[in-house]
Amino acid sequence: MCGIIGAVAERDVVPILLEGLRRLEYRGYDSAGVAVIDDKDCIDRVRTVGKVAELDGALKQHPLAGKTGIAHTRWATHGKPSQSNAHPHICRKSVAIVHNGIIENHELLRKSQTDGGHAFTSETDTEVVVHQIYDYQQQGKGLLDAVRTTVADLEGAYALGVISNHDKARIIAARRGSPLVIGIGIGEHFIASDVAALLPVTQKFIFLEDGDIADITRDSLTIYDERGEIVERPLKISQLSADAMERGSYRHYMLKEIFEQPRAIAETLEGRLSGDTVLEQSFGPGAKDILDSVKGVHIIACGTSYHAGLVAKYWLEAIAGVPCSVEVASEFRYRHPIARRNSLVIAISQSGETADTLAALQEAKKLGFGHTMAICNVPESSMVREADLALMTRAGPEIGVASTKAFTTQLTALMLLVVVLGRRHGMAAQTEIKLVEQLRSLPRRIEEVLTLNDAIEELAEFFANKHNALFLGRGAQYPVAMEGALKLKEISYIHAEAYPAGELKHGPLALVDAEMPVIAVAPNNELLEKLKSNLQEVRARGGELIVFADAQVDMKSDSNVRVMTVAPTEDPIAPIIYTVPLQLLSYYVAVLKGTDVDQPRNLAKSVTVE
């Protein structure tokens, strides 16, 4: 989290930095700032609390201009959102830095710098970095060397952009553990946390590796690896257009992204199906040997991506006959798990940069688990580069903080994996034919379920003054219920929990009364009758039920039951379909509550800190 951007050019870079910050705002939005070297070779800075729009407003009052500059949008870790904690941080009007990550040894450095005479102006971990660079400059080092020596003193994670008025047409960038990309313009260079920030100015990118330091001027770029050797990193051309990030006529990115799901799923399937089969070549070179060796799967992920993993566990064991465990990445990385050599470790992540998932993936490799795979939406991300195999979801940029199309495309990709592993573990050929048919039908079925939009918007009114909600599902619909609860809480701030419906009577039933809406997903499958009995338990206690039920199921709306009918769907793909009405429900509840749907409080899209 936190987004950084920088530019060194022949033109005023402030408009480029501001537009880049708007595009990075999903990474953090509690404060923002920009610093440039002006035409008198002074570092000028403006910082504001709140969103980039506030910074924009402040810049209208105090315009800045300069040909070298850096900017930052913050998601607070050390120190509350405030102007003094906002980046860029400056030391003695001489060096300015922006930072994404966490400096773990900041207390130690702060102490020695305070003893050395530095007066701290913020509570951040970042400020020690700028003082350290300044001190090395004072010892006679140039900017590049001062940064190089400084990062050797740091423990933790960082993506850094550094400018100094002693070297006014230069940016030094450094990366360890946090993403950083260099954009190549014509006679100008840029840095950013994400290509999205730079799409209006370039499509050419170089991705820094961990430990790299880049020395960047308008017309030169030199990258040093962690041993200090000059290295060439490949140039990549992004296929993304600047427009892919636009909201269009939708009120929020989240709604746009919900409605993009049919297309996103179609693109995820593109070139991966042929006739009745899943094309194994689409898993990349070397996939066959790896898949042949897999005896079990271990999935690591966070948040919504973790829920996708939980659905896949039901599929992998019941359909493919492959044992599967699923674990929250932040737990996996510290619990000293026992390595299983024939396990395929799968990291699921929209961004490919989530710090816990990336570290868990690295830990799995270190511990000697078998092969690794990333299921990811960002081709150039750290996880894709780290894993042996990458299965890309092709959802396109997801800007809304609440993940929607990333989840359904992850499930689609996971179903492809279920098929190729199932083949090797005795799954009937007929099952593959049926699954491929169902996968092909997904875009059409999602279009169908999206027609519930207006009815769900009306239904949302019922939630406007509720403070709690329970979500219920059984089997592979239980993680769908978990995902529904997560969506509701993160964007509407209504407390919501999910339970497997059969678990209700073991405790949570005590919570049920007229003030506790209970939302259930009820596809037509072998667990339906059991689910119905669980729902009766809720009705008998005066609970208000909302059920998304298969049209062929005999369930009718009643005094305290509202049934929303979903077109008949085959069981394996039902979790993908039933996710969509729950996304719409939380979206409309949040709109009614007037929350900031795309940028809910306290959250950020790409969680690149622990």
Which residues are known to be catalytic? Answer: 2, 605
Taking the complex as a whole, the smallest distance from the CB of residue 513 to ligand F6R amounts, in Å, to 29
User: In sequence order, which residues have a C-beta less than 8 Å from that of residue 188 and are 6 or more positions away?
Assistant: 7, 8, 9, 10, 11, 201, 218
- The structure tokens 């769908």 sit at 480
The reply on whether position 357 binds ligand F6R by CB under 6 A is yes
Taking the complex as a whole, the smallest distance from the CB of residue 438 to ligand F6R amounts, in Å, to 24
Mask: binding to ligand F6R, 458-487, rule CB under 6 A, as x and -? ----------------------------x-
The reply on whether position 350 binds ligand F6R by CB under 6 A is yes
The reply on whether position 573 binds ligand F6R by CB under 6 A is no
**Closest Cα to residue 296, out of 331, 348, 340, 362?**
340
Taking the complex as a whole, the smallest distance from the CB of residue 302 to ligand F6R amounts, in Å, to 4
Neighbours of 149 (CB within 10 A): 16
Taking the complex as a whole, the smallest distance from the CB of residue 486 to ligand F6R amounts, in Å, to 6
Burial class (CB in 10 A: 0-12, 13-18, 19+), 285: exposed
Taking the complex as a whole, the smallest distance from the CB of residue 510 to ligand F6R amounts, in Å, to 28
Given 403, 534, 569, 608, the residue binding ligand F6R (CB under 6 A): 403
Q: Do 578 and 588 touch, CB atoms closer than 8 A?
A: no
Sheet strands (E) in 144-228 = 156-164, 167-176, 181-184, 189-192, 204-207, 213-216, 221-224
The reply on whether position 349 binds ligand F6R by CB under 6 A is yes
Half-sphere exposure of 409 (CA within 13 A, CB side): 32
Q: State how far the Cα of 203 lies from the Cα of 205, in Å rounded to an integer.
A: 6
Containing 445, the helix (H) or strand (E) segment is: helix 429-450
Which residue, judged by CB position, is nearest to ligand F6R in the bound state? 303
Given 198, 607, 608, 609, the residue binding ligand F6R (CB under 6 A): 607
Q: State how far the Cα of 317 lies from the Cα of 293, in Å rounded to an integer.
A: 17
Taking the complex as a whole, the smallest distance from the CB of residue 210 to ligand F6R amounts, in Å, to 18
Q: State how far the Cα of 373 lies from the Cα of 157, in Å rounded to an integer.
A: 23
Taking the complex as a whole, the smallest distance from the CB of residue 385 to ligand F6R amounts, in Å, to 15
Q: State how far the Cα of 526 lies from the Cα of 534, in Å rounded to an integer.
A: 14
- Say if strands 43-49 and 31-37 run parallel, antiparallel, or are unpaired: antiparallel
Mask: binding to ligand F6R, 291-320, rule CB under 6 A, as x and -? -----------xxxx---------------
Given 132, 351, 525, 586, the residue binding ligand F6R (CB under 6 A): 351
Q: Collapse the DSSP code of 471 into the 3-class scheme (helix H, G, I; strand E, B; otherwise coil) and give the result.
A: strand
> Phi/psi class of residue 241: alpha, beta or left (left: φ > 0; alpha: ψ in -120 to 50)?
beta
**Which long-range contacts does 313-319 make (Cβ < 8 Å, 24+ apart)?**
314/475, 314/476, 314/479, 315/414, 315/415, 315/418, 315/476, 315/572, 316/417, 316/418, 316/421, 319/418, 319/422, 319/427, 319/431, 319/435, 319/572
The reply on whether position 261 binds ligand F6R by CB under 6 A is no
- The structure tokens 């060439």 sit at 232
**Closer to ligand F6R at the Cβ: 349 or 492?**
349
**Closer to ligand F6R at the Cβ: 374 or 472?**
374
**Closer to ligand F6R at the Cβ: 33 or 352?**
352
Considering only the stretches 6-14, 130-138, 181-189, 344-352, report the one whose residues sit in contact with ligand F6R under the rule CB under 6 A.
Answer: 344-352
**Closer to ligand F6R at the Cβ: 307 or 423?**
307
Tokens of 525: 């499958």
Q: Do 45 and 98 touch, CB atoms closer than 8 A?
A: no
Given 354, 412, 525, 583, the residue binding ligand F6R (CB under 6 A): 354
Q: State how far the Cα of 49 lies from the Cα of 54, in Å rounded to an integer.
A: 7
**Closer to ligand F6R at the Cβ: 306 or 499?**
306
Q: State how far the Cα of 125 lies from the Cα of 371, in Å rounded to an integer.
A: 36
Q: State how far the Cα of 546 lies from the Cα of 566, in Å rounded to an integer.
A: 13
**Closer to ligand F6R at the Cβ: 291 or 486?**
486
**Closer to ligand F6R at the Cβ: 272 or 405?**
405
Q: State how far the Cα of 500 lies from the Cα of 367, in Å rounded to an integer.
A: 33
Applying CB under 6 A, the site for ligand F6R has a residue count of: 14
The reply on whether position 490 binds ligand F6R by CB under 6 A is yes
Considering only the stretches 37-45, 220-228, 229-237, 348-356, report the one whose residues sit in contact with ligand F6R under the rule CB under 6 A.
Answer: 348-356
**Closer to ligand F6R at the Cβ: 401 or 418?**
401
Tokens of 399: 């800007």
Taking the complex as a whole, the smallest distance from the CB of residue 583 to ligand F6R amounts, in Å, to 10
Taking the complex as a whole, the smallest distance from the CB of residue 432 to ligand F6R amounts, in Å, to 28
The reply on whether position 409 binds ligand F6R by CB under 6 A is no
Taking the complex as a whole, the smallest distance from the CB of residue 405 to ligand F6R amounts, in Å, to 11
Considering only the stretches 77-85, 244-252, 345-353, 441-449, report the one whose residues sit in contact with ligand F6R under the rule CB under 6 A.
Answer: 345-353
Neighbours of 257 (CB within 10 A): 26
Characterize 509-535 residue by residue with b for buried, 16 or more Cβ atoms within 10 angstroms of its Cβ, and e for exposed.
beebeeebbbbbbbbbbebbeebbebb
Taking the complex as a whole, the smallest distance from the CB of residue 463 to ligand F6R amounts, in Å, to 18
**Looking at the chain, how many residues does it have?**
610
- Judged by the rule CB under 6 A, the positions of this chain that interact with ligand F6R are 302-305, 349-351, 354, 357, 402-403, 486, 490, 607
